[in-house]
Chains A and B, each alone.
Chain A
Amino acid sequence: MKVFLSHASSEKKMAKTLRRKLEVAGHEVSTSDSMEQGDDITSAIGKLIERAEAFVIIVSPKGLGNERLMWEWRTVLENSWKEQGRPIFGVLVGNVVPPPFLMGRQLVTISSLDDIDTAAEQLLGRLQGNPIDEMVVEDLKARGREIISHLSSEIQKFEPSPEQLEKQRKRLQEKIHELSAAPASGDLARLNLKLVNVIKTLAEKGLQVDGAIPLMTKSLEIMEQLQNTSPEQRAALRTRIAREMEKAGDFQGALQQACRALQVCEEELDKKGPADTECDDNVPALGSLLERIKETVGEENVRAGCSLVSSLISRAANGKSRGGQQ
């Protein structure tokens, strides 16, 4: 078997002994020391790793954090993913904690060079393949759960406080006020939408502030005036406005915006064809909105919108399936 043996320069002696023992047992072993003088180091090691059928990684406290070694490990890992069935074995020196990618793999622990015979024997046995210890798998799951739980609590730290939101709301309002004196610009449209999200987040915290719908409408007006966004992007914004209007109980307004967004999607479908429009997500969202409000605004008013939704969805689906058959 072709084996690549990875080690830090501090473990050269140990690697040399281990290499000899594996070679005596009939394995062809290469290490980063196998390179010829003048080789491009990275590409030469890369080639050795690429042609290996198994990998043995010596991990010692001195080697942890060594960037050259970490690069070797990454290359080993990528190669083991490319071609399944190329096992990775770890030899841990002393009580070093294995790097995460080695956890749960076949590991041999040695405390000094005197243990190398035992380690080599164990390793040779494992090169034939042994099942993974179920206890180890359980330990790893527990470790995984611990990391995920830590991650969950750290994510909560990104939640802005109501005071921070209120401060940002005022700051954005001032900036918008300044920009409003100048001709309409993309910056003004973007700031309006940023302020909308601050207002929405405040609302999620139970602090109701009005103004989200007019700000979104203003942004849409600017975008239509400047034509600096695609019709689909503007239809998506119109869909957001419709949803906000629905939440605010303005169902007639929501219906109007939804129908206009649907018209834009229809126009884009006519112009570009189903594969090239970005309206796919908008149309079903608008369909659900119309379904929700149809009893409140009267089914008669919504019918045209609903039939447009069905026609657009089926046109998009037919167009795509025809495209797929070609």
Chain B
Amino acid sequence: MSYKFPHPELPNPDSEKSIFINCPYDSEYEPFFDAIIFSVVASGFIPRSAKESEMIAVSRMERILHALYTSKYSIHDLSRCRYEGNQMLARFNMPLELGLAMSRRYPGNGKILHNWLVLVPNDAPYGKFVSDLSGFDLKQYPGNETELIRALLAWLMVLPGALPRICPSPVIERFLEFKVRKKQLKEEWGDDVPWKSLLEAVKATIPDFA
């Protein structure tokens, strides 16, 4: 099987402005997922994920690789890498995708192609359990959306190409408005709101620059 990169059938927006999102997609995590994509768009960047191409007949792994490899940045939330269910297994998707991002960072020619933010909740010693990442900043957040938005904006605002002069208060205020719009979208589409509709809803609610 051959793999073309970037995949010709998949969306290919500006990679310099693209941020791959690696996080759980379940209903429990949904408020944080919303906070991440809202902060990314409110800072002038494009959130990317395998969800962007769910309506395209390409395998999931190829869609993940395409979205990640055409993104200059990525955000990884490891907060759900803890045991779950009767079998007491952790989810491996998030660390796997962080590993893929890391391979993108060090392509071997001395240039850094990719940069990331790793999010962890501040109630567990993640540094100890991902000791390979020592030296990298693991951003702790206390498990609420407002603090997550603050942490994300601080990371996003120093990246080249971010919208100038963004501060958290208006973004947090507008985020509540976005959540109302998201509910309306879910009434129409269920849990799989099309990526374009979702991003358009975010864009329509972020603070105005006119």
A62 interfacial contact with B, CB 8 Å: no
B57 interfacial contact with A, CB 8 Å: yes
Expressed in whole angstroms, the Cα–Cα distance for A73 and B195 within the complex equals 32
Contact A74 B165 (CB under 8 A): no
Partner of B209 from the list A73, A81, A145 (CB cut-off 8 Å) is A145
A83 interfacial contact with B, CB 8 Å: no
Q: Which residues of B lie under 8 Å from residue A160 when comparing CB positions?
A: 53, 55-56
Expressed in whole angstroms, the Cα–Cα distance for A65 and B111 within the complex equals 12
Contact A155 B14 (CB under 8 A): no
Partner of A99 from the list B53, B158, B166 (CB cut-off 8 Å) is B158
Contact A78 B46 (CB under 8 A): no
Q: Contact flags (1/0) for A93-110 with B, using CB distance below 8 Å?
A: 000010111011000000
Q: Contacts A100-B157, A141-B210, A281-B187 given: A197-B164 contact, CB under 8 Å? A: no
Contact A103 B164 (CB under 8 A): yes
Instruction: Quote the shortest CB–CB distance from A86 to chain B (angstroms).
Output: 13
Q: Interface stretch among A17-25, A29-37, A235-243?
A: A235-243
A168 interfacial contact with B, CB 8 Å: yes
Partner of A101 from the list B151, B162, B195 (CB cut-off 8 Å) is B162
| Closest residue of A by beta carbon distance from B206 | A148
Contact A74 B199 (CB under 8 A): no
Instruction: Quote the shortest CB–CB distance from A221 to chain B (angstroms).
Output: 16
From 19 to 57 in chain B, residues with beta carbon under 8 angstroms from any chain A beta carbon are 41, 44-46, 52-57
Q: Which residues of A lie under 8 Å from residue B189 when comparing CB positions?
A: 197, 200
Task: Label chain A's interface by main secondary structure.
Answer: helix
Partner of A243 from the list B54, B187, B191, B196 (CB cut-off 8 Å) is B187
Q: Which residues of A lie under 8 Å from residue B91 when comparing CB positions?
A: none
Contact B137 A71 (CB under 8 A): yes
Q: Contacts A100-B162, A101-B162 given: A240-B187 contact, CB under 8 Å? A: yes
Contact A42 B137 (CB under 8 A): yes
Q: Contacts A100-B162, A197-B55, A239-B187 given: A141-B194 contact, CB under 8 Å? A: no
Kindly name the residue among A144, A147, A154, A160 whose own CB sees the greatest number of chain B CB atoms within 10 A.
A160
Q: Which residues of A lie under 8 Å from residue B192 when comparing CB positions?
A: 193-194, 197
Q: Interface stretch among B5-13, B76-84, B92-100, B118-126?
A: B5-13
Expressed in whole angstroms, the Cα–Cα distance for A194 and B190 within the complex equals 9
A320 interfacial contact with B, CB 8 Å: no
A277 interfacial contact with B, CB 8 Å: no
Contact B57 A237 (CB under 8 A): no
Q: Which residues of A lie under 8 Å from residue B112 when comparing CB positions?
A: 65
Partner of A198 from the list B55, B151, B164 (CB cut-off 8 Å) is B55
Expressed in whole angstroms, the Cα–Cα distance for A156 and B195 within the complex equals 10
A143 interfacial contact with B, CB 8 Å: yes
Partner of A154 from the list B14, B190, B191 (CB cut-off 8 Å) is B14
| Closest residue of B by beta carbon distance from A103 | B164
Instruction: Quote the shortest CB–CB distance from B71 to chain A (angstroms).
Output: 12
A159 interfacial contact with B, CB 8 Å: yes
On B, residues with C-beta under 8 Å from A are: 9, 11-14, 17, 41, 44-46, 52-57, 112, 115, 137, 150-151, 154-155, 157-168, 183, 186-192, 194-196, 199-200, 203, 209-210
6 A-B pairs with least C-beta separation: A144-B209, A103-B164, A100-B162, A154-B13, A158-B196, A101-B157
